[in-house]
Amino acid sequence: MVILKIVSKNEKNVVVTLEDGSVLFLSKDLIYQTGLRKGDDISEELRLQLIEENQKYFIKIKSLDYLSRRPHSTQELKIKLMQKKYEKRLIQIVLDELQEKKYLDDADFTERFITERIYFKKSGAQKIKSELLKKGIPMALIEEKLKMVIDENESYENALSLGKKKMASFVKRGFDDKKIRMKLFAFLVAKGYDFDTTKQVCNALLKGDEIE
């Protein structure tokens, strides 16, 4: 198969047009390594190798596109790429490269995710664990990062802050104390707070200890 032309696409990549009309997007590094030039008649083996490199190029571009929008866990990104019908083996090669270059870092992703959920959404540890497990983060890593980020007093204060706001809406709706306690408890559990923290907050609010 003869190469009709090789045209620069950007600083790192080129467009290679073959005589059958097919087009390949390849890195300049690969062109230099193989020594390919316009007019070269490449073997079938090399053509297949170039096709594979072309596929990896598009997987990488799509991966970086996803990552530019927001951070992803490795498993989360892998699932999205598989939904695009890319070859599983090539996906793994690209993911390994992204991890090596620190574009993908599950430890950093987990710590940032926990911090965001605690400080901006005031989620409890149980909900955070559930969300991270769904993203393919190992429990051991989740536990490690939760210990680093979560402070028990802060967790209580977050639950208390959420509880105050929610309780005010229940009071406005005319609910009695029994119904408020039941709904408040369910609300805080759904937010991911453990039984003890939820019970403490409900007791404090319903007794009026923490109401300003």
- Do 64 and 58 contact (CB within 8 A), yes or no? no
Question: In this predicted structure, what is the pLDDT of residue 141?
Answer: 97
| Sign of CA pseudo-dihedral 207, 163, 195, 150 | negative
Question: In this predicted structure, what is the pLDDT of residue 211?
Answer: 42
Q: How far apart are CA 34 and CA 192, in angstroms?
A: 55
Structure tokens at 63: 């991966």
Tell me the CA end-to-end span of the chain in Å, nearest whole number.
80
Question: In this predicted structure, what is the pLDDT of residue 149?
Answer: 86
Cα atoms found within 13 Å of the Cα of residue 15, Cβ hemisphere only: 8
Exposed/middle/buried for residue 85 (C-beta within 10 Å: 0-12, 13-18, 19+): exposed
> Which residues in the chain land under pLDDT 70?
208-212
Q: How far apart are CA 113 and CA 122, in angstroms?
A: 12
Question: In this predicted structure, what is the pLDDT of residue 115?
Answer: 92
- Do 18 and 26 contact (CB within 8 A), yes or no? no
Residue 55 neighbours by CB under 8 Å, 6+ apart? 86, 87, 90
Question: In this predicted structure, what is the pLDDT of residue 208?
Answer: 61
- Do 48 and 39 contact (CB within 8 A), yes or no? no
Residue at token pair 């995710």? 113
For the chain, the structural domain boundaries read 1-42, 45-103, 106-149, 156-207
Report the top-level CATH class of 45-103. mainly alpha
Give the bridge partners for 26, in sequence order.
14
Q: How far apart are CA 111 and CA 152, in angstroms?
A: 17
User: The pTM is what?
Assistant: 0.75
Q: What is the pLDDT of residues 87-118, one digit of tens each?
A: 999 999 999 999 999 999 999 999 999 999 99
Residues in the chain: 212
